[in-house]
Amino acid sequence: MDGTALEIAGGSAAASAASDDDGRVFLVPYRWWRESQESGPDDGAGGVRGILYSASPGGSPSYGMKIISNIFSSDLVFNLRKDDDLMQNGESEDGVGVSGRSYALIPSDLWSKALKWHNDAASNARSSFSWEDGLAEVYPLMLRITVLRETNVMNVKISKKDNAVENYKRACKIFSVDSEMVRIWDFSGQTDLIFMNEWNRHTRDGPRQADQEILLELQVYLLSDSLNHRIESQKDDLTVQQSKMTSYGGSLLMNGNIGNSDFRSSGSSKRFGSYGLTGLDNLGNTCFMNSAIQCLAHTPMLVEYFLGDYSREINPHNPLGMNGELALAFGELLRKLWAPDRAPVVPRVFKAKLARFAPQFSGFNQHDSQELLAFLLDGLHEDLNRVKCKPYTEVKDSCGRPDEQVADEYWSNHLARNDSIIVDVCQGQYKSTLVCPVCSKVSVTFDPFMYLSLPLPSSASRTMTITIFSSDGTSAPSSYTINVPKYGKCKDLMQALSVACSLRDNESLLVAEIYGNRIIRYLEDPSDAVSLIRDGDRLAAYKLLKDDENYPLVVFTHQRVERYIHSIMSSKKAFGVPLVARLSVAANGSTIRDLYLKLLNPFLRSSDAISDLDHSNINVGEFAKVESSNGPENEGIAEAAEVGDCVQDEFQFYITDEKCQAMHSKIDMDESTSLTGLQKQLHVIVCWQEKAPEKYDIELLNSLPEIYKSALFSKRPQEPISLYSCLEAFLKEEPLGPEDMWYCPSCKEHRQACKKLDLWRLPEILVIHLKRFSYSRFLKNKLETFVDFPIDDLELSDYIAYKTQQPSHRYRLYAISNHYGSMGGGHYTAYVHHEGANRWYDFDDRHVNPLSDETSIKSSAAYVLFYQRVQAEDSDSRSTTSTRNSPDHIIEAD
């Protein structure tokens, strides 16, 4: 909402200057009035008692109050009702107790003094605003007023037929009483005079006709116009190549670039004072929306644009847009956030528009502020696209042409179809190079971007313990503890494990996750995130010969027979770590048995160990639970021999499925019986008979440590990373994933090409998204890595590929969208640097509080960073003044 002043006069509207008391009455923003009266009388009006009025929708149902309908309807109607229930002497300094927008009705002499006070304050702040500028910004507006009989209500009607179209549109925005309460404090006595005159006439002349109206001509004064005038005048000394002039904020805009008009460094933003420090109510898990909106609503160029007359640029016929409704809703919300009244704004209307055009944001679930930001920027662009009819453009390959020529061609084609304030301010261009790994075909394209999504490189390490098993039976299993990047990939794990176990060139590792004594998955995809592996998981790695890769893989899982004491009942129970090897000979019962026995060699006990076990008091039934007798030992052996009549060995082999849930068929040990239909993998259950566990070290076979045991390792502090390292990770060359294959026009096939990105053009507002959230088939994860980002001096000269005819590549931070907590929950806030107060503020939904120290804005919660381009001569202007206007903190120069 613009700061406004309304002049109510019953006669001529031609007055050009305010005398001490010329009978005119002004309606001004209440806070603007109070600021000028801080050193005056307590009542703020020279002892005059104020009367409070509440504005509300009025008239017949045909009178629409919404801004969209106001513009196209013939009349704007609302009521002014006396509100005796609230305090009569104005709101408190911080606006507590009064919601919505508040204005004060004051006589011309007091208005003159207030205007002069603000002029003096602006002079002290080195602003070019003057009182004469204010007097020159008055335009007429005709009102029709009817006093409702036997009430304290005035019905006000503003008709399009009585006023110029632009003036009527402004009135619709001023009196948008449907979205929030509008209150008017009358310190002039003018409303009492209207009531007295009307009731005297009613008493004298009898009942009035229903259509009798009082005509009042208002003189409307918009403070935002003076702000635009000051910004425009301060740009005269800047050398800017102007391609088009727009009416909003006096900004000099060029296609895809904005002139050297640093809104914050110009000093004009200080005229906002404490404006813009308004919170947003949380409607129920809408903190993500509030955070993104506050960052956008404090983007200087967008503030200028939406506080000006942006309605002429709305494109209601764009099929890719939202009929202009999203832009109107956002513009109105931004105006409320920059209104003099600092009461928290309820963004219900904007939320409804958002849910209508983006159903994914409907309801009251928590969402991602960056996803909302991406939709909002794209939606605002399409609603405000100046291109009414998009021409057809053909994309051409580079074909060896100079990059500058190809980039300009791509950019011109883009601007031919996309031209809006969002493109002017937020869009840049990067170079994308793809190289085919087969034919070496090189493809170069230049694509626009609205923001940069930067990965967080893996600087922190993670300790992992993995046990390696041999597939030839030559060595016992060994556990290795390795360090891998905490947010790395499985290929990082494989590389570290290969080094730790001295893997030979002719060997490979097959890593599997073990759960419930069976393999539940293989870690075969090198691009899988290590974060998918939990500390409590157990991994086994099997050494295999590369030359045997074409042979079938045999997976042995173990079961043992358990007989219950004093019972003939028995059961089979899985135990141990599965053993894996490749079968390089014909598959039959004999070769499978021999392969298994070879794998068990490292687990064999020595003959002395077996003898000691047989003669000890330990009951071998710990594994077999065999019911023993008092007879000699050779009697037990004889019994085992009798049981073994149906098998040739101590083991029985069964073919099973991958999940080992059923024994499909028993494997005959006859060498002449081959296994037909053998696929790439064969799953075998080995049933250990009663005496078999005596010969093998079962504890060793059962031993498989967890990935990480916190009690065994001391936790190391997390290492911070720099924003520049994130940018380098984003720009480095890397192969495309299997799901992002590129179609090579030379090979006529999809290839896993190598991709390299380079920054080509940088926008005025650079939005950087830190990719803290990762998603997979199994889990969602948030990276809590601390990213150290520059505040006053983000220098990108070393990262830009096209350095000629470019403005400064130096940026300054002005807003941050923060996320606290974990995936699927947590809380969003925003940090915003307010130029008027020259300090950082914490926007936490409806609460807005200053931050005492600039360094506190750096945390692992930083999610989306907002930077604005600064000129070389302005790069040190903010950092050398103070630490955000903190009077008790002094910076000593070196």
Q: How far apart, in whole angstroms, are the C-alpha atoms of residue 616 and residue 632?
A: 14
Tokens matching residue 720: 């911070």
3-state secondary structure 782-796: ECCCCEECCCCCEEC
Q: Facing residues of 882 across strands?
A: none
Residue from 10, 100, 86 nearest 50 by CA:
86
Q: Is the distance from CB of 425 to CB of 299 less than 8 angstroms?
A: yes
Q: Is the distance from CB of 71 to CB of 172 less than 8 angstroms?
A: yes
Q: Is 530 exposed, middle or buried (0-12, 13-18, 19+ CB in 10 A)?
A: buried
One DSSP character per residue, 164-207 reads -HHHHHHHHHHT-TTTS-EEEEE-SSHHHHHHHHHHHHHHHH-S
Beta-carbon contacts of 508 under 8 Å, excluding residues fewer than 6 positions away, are 543, 544, 545, 546, 549
Q: Is the distance from CB of 862 to CB of 770 less than 8 angstroms?
A: yes
DSSP state of 605: P
Q: How far apart, in whole angstroms, are the C-alpha atoms of residue 218 and residue 4?
A: 12
> Phi/psi of residue 431, each to 5°?
-100, 130
pLDDT given at position 93: 38
pLDDT tens sequence across 212-250: 677 777 666 655 443 334 333 333 332 232 232 233 333
R_g of the chain computed on alpha carbons: 39
Residue 884 has pLDDT above 80, yes or no: no
3-state secondary structure 293-333: HHHHHCCHHHHHHHHCCCHHHCCCCCCCCCCCHHHHHHHHH
Highest mean pLDDT among 109-123, 486-500, 652-666, 773-787: 486-500
pLDDT given at position 399: 75
pLDDT given at position 580: 94
Q: How far apart, in whole angstroms, are the C-alpha atoms of residue 214 and residue 156?
A: 10
pLDDT tens sequence across 396-429: 777 778 888 899 999 999 999 999 999 999 999 9
Amino acid letter, residue 355: A
Q: How far apart, in whole angstroms, are the C-alpha atoms of residue 162 and residue 164?
A: 7
Q: How far apart, in whole angstroms, are the C-alpha atoms of residue 385 and residue 420?
A: 5
3-state secondary structure 47-72: CCCCEEEEEEECCCCCCCCCHHHHHH
Q: Is the distance from CB of 719 to CB of 591 less than 8 angstroms?
A: no
pLDDT given at position 795: 93
Interval 813-840 mean pLDDT: 89
Residue from 27, 3, 32, 17 nearest 227 by CA:
3
Q: How far apart, in whole angstroms, are the C-alpha atoms of residue 725 and residue 729?
A: 6
Residue 344 has pLDDT above 60, yes or no: yes
Q: How far apart, in whole angstroms, are the C-alpha atoms of residue 18 and residue 136?
A: 12
410: number of Cβ within 10 Å: 22
For the chain, the average pLDDT equals: 75
> Phi/psi of residue 682, each to 5°?
-125, 125
Better pLDDT: 640 or 502: 502
Grouping H, G, I as helix, E, B as strand and the rest as coil, residue 418 is: coil
Residues classed as catalytic? 287, 827
Q: How far apart, in whole angstroms, are the C-alpha atoms of residue 793 and residue 811?
A: 6
Give Cα 413 distance to the centre of its chain.
29
- Calculated CA dihedral for residues 144, 146, 152, 156, nearest 10 degrees: -30
Pairing of strands 721-722, 787-788: parallel
Question: Of 468-482, 496-510, 664-678, which range is least confident?
Answer: 664-678
Q: How far apart, in whole angstroms, are the C-alpha atoms of residue 851 and residue 857?
A: 8
Q: How far apart, in whole angstroms, are the C-alpha atoms of residue 661 and residue 646?
A: 24
Tokens matching residue 521: 């998955």
Residue 480 has pLDDT above 90, yes or no: yes
pLDDT given at position 708: 81
712: number of Cβ within 10 Å: 11
Give Cα 396 distance to the centre of its chain.
34
Angle, CA of 590, 594 and 596, to the nearest 5°? 120
Residue with tokens 């259509």: 211
Tokens matching residue 501: 């176990």
Could you give the C-alpha distances from 220 to 13, 35, 210, 304, in angstroms and in order?
A: 10, 20, 28, 20
pLDDT tens sequence across 14-28: 333 344 556 677 777
pTM (2 d.p.): 0.52
Give Cα 364 distance to the centre of its chain.
17
Residue from 643, 746, 637, 744 nearest 687 by CA:
643
